[in-house]
Amino acid sequence: MAYCTEDIKLREEYASTAYPLDRAVIHSIQHEAYERLERVEAILRHIMEVAVVRNQRKNFLNIRLRRDYVTLLHHVQANEVFFCFFLPDKLEPFITITALHVDQGKLVSLDASQVDALEAALNEFRTRFGISGESYHYTGLVEREETERFARGGGVGGGGSRKAHSKHFHLKMRVSSQMCRDRLPALRLFNLARAREVIEPVRYAFGRETISRADQPRACPGYHSCPSPSTTTTATKQKKNNKSDVQVHISLKRSLSSLSSSLSLSQALSLSVSVSLCLSLSLSVSLCLSLCLSLCLSLCLSLSLSASLSEILTLPGFDLFSSFAALTCRPVCLEAAPLFFCFIQ
């Protein structure tokens, strides 16, 4: 049954009714309207909102931009994915980046090629707005999934509308307060510095811990971000460290595995010693313990002349070594652990 015309207008029998339309009919009208929007352009289904409204004379459709796209500042298209950069809708100095697929809508996670496209999008955004010295805050997939299950179980109330964060992929870029004030005139209506001092949620947002990109941005004119000193508690810092531990473990293991096809045994031995020495330099660990780790890993790698590096990586000895590394090292210590690799976990 058709409820709308081809130009997305209510048919007369549904426009002129003596009583409000039934909820099920309204839902069907919206579904059909979204399908017709998609025929015009696929992206419209995801960024527009269809509402059936009524006055004293008739029913009609309102098609408006979704509220979460009102603050869209910049976008970069990579094949069928749009990387969207949003100004903050809260009192915080962060640009939020999401990934919108023309068919699937907002993506929950990114694959390897999409991570590369994200890197390019970030560079384009930084160049366009003259941003340097920025840092990032990211909520991992596991944390988002746990929050989503908690919300579905009724743990937050309000139909899940009060979740701490979205289940979809979102990366936050720390930028200067001045950039936010320039782009959002509403922030110039009051003393933002004063709000940071006396309002705890604002103070927390400005003091949130972030991490710099592995490849530090080159100096350029424009907005330079200087994150405020962290005000997080020891417990919060410990939670962040635990989160980083997992990233180190996964990134190190995958990075070494990817080299297995091209490394000879002698190269693998050299790599093992280099990794251990790298850890000994970046960690506050005694030299004796570091040398022991080097010897242990070298011994594991030399157990079988016919074993490939990828096979050796599955040995218990390597898990013991990498677990130790995860407990005592941060991602930025290892060039073999790219910052954005954790986004596809």
DSSP alpha helix (H) spans, 219-306? 234-258, 265-282, 287-301
321 assigned to some structural domain: yes
Mark whether 188 and 269 lie in a shared domain: no
Task: Report d(CA 336, CA 247) in Å as an integer.
Answer: 12
Mark whether 311 and 168 lie in a shared domain: no
Mark whether 206 and 249 lie in a shared domain: no
**pLDDT tens digits, 298-341:** 554 444 433 443 343 344 433 333 333 333 333 333 233 344 44
E strand spans, the chain: 48-54, 59-65, 72-78, 81-86, 94-101, 105-106, 131-132, 135-138, 170-174, 211-212, 223-224
**285: Cβ–Cβ under 8 A, 6 or more apart, which residues?**
279, 328
**275: Cβ–Cβ under 8 A, 6 or more apart, which residues?**
252, 256, 297, 334, 336
Tally of structural domains, the chain: 3
Mark whether 239 and 228 lie in a shared domain: no
Mark whether 35 and 115 lie in a shared domain: no
Structural domain that includes position 208: 68-232
**pLDDT tens digits, 196-233:** 999 999 999 898 888 887 544 333 334 444 443 333 33
For residue 65, what pLDDT is reported?
95
Task: Report d(CA 310, CA 28) in Å as an integer.
Answer: 53
Structure tokens at 137: 């805050």
Give the mean model confidence (pLDDT) for residues 249-272: 46
Of 206, 232, 258, which closes a domain? 232
2 assigned to some structural domain: no
Mark whether 101 and 225 lie in a shared domain: yes
